[in-house]
Amino acid sequence: MNSDQTLPGDTARGLALDAALDAALDAALTRVLPPPELPPQFRTQLAAAIAREAALELTLRSARPRLEREQREQLAELHADYMRLRRRTLGTLIGGAFAAGAAVAVSLPWLKATFGPDAMLVLAGLGAVAGLAIGTASWVRRLGVPRLLQRL
């Protein structure tokens, strides 16, 4: 046994070994557990595995700029779609407001002639009904009511 193997405090723990048996066992273990040798083809197989990994790494590295470019393009396209949607929504709102203004301008004389002093109330009421109808139609579509009705 070398100095590395001294085990201070072992006897104190009541686990003292029979010295002769321990020495014989140590010698037997040394012979029974020799350091395993590397298989002869180990280096060759390792070199092949590393070559495969290197090739894969190279492929990934060369593909990276293309993948990054594609991702940038997709992001730009998404951003453009979003901007288009916002512009369309804004256009619809402005168009709707102009159309409503024009309708009021055209129909106001007739409403005044027909309803007298209540013409403005009637106009506001019509506006509210139209707004509620548009809102309800939008929510009915969004909640999938037509599909639900179709299933029934």
Partner 1 sequence: MQSAVAGAASDDSDVVELLRAHGRERAFALLLPRYERKVFRLCCALLRDPTQAQDAAQESLVRIWKALPSYDGRASLSSWIYTIARNRCLTAIERRRAHAALSDSEFDMTSQAAEVALEPEFGSDSEQRAAQLRELIDLLPERARRTLVLFYFEQRSISDVAQQLACPEGTVKTHLFRARAALAALLKQRGLDDPSLWLEVSP
Nearest distance, CB of residue 62 and partner 1, angstroms? 17
Q: Which residue of 36, 40, 65, 116 would you call a contact of partner 1, by CB under 8 A?
A: 36
Pairwise CA distance, residues 120 & 111, whole Å: 8
Q: Is 49 in the site for partner 1 (CB under 8 A)?
A: yes
Nearest distance, CB of residue 97 and partner 1, angstroms? 59
Among 37-45, 81-89, 92-100, 107-115, the segment contacting partner 1 (CB under 8 A): 37-45
Q: Which of 29, 100, 83 is nearest to 108 (CA)?
A: 100
Gyration radius of the chain's alpha carbons: 43
What is the contact surface with partner 1 in residues (CB under 8 A)?
1-2, 4-5, 7, 10, 15, 17-18, 20-36, 38-39, 42-43, 45-46, 49-50, 53, 57
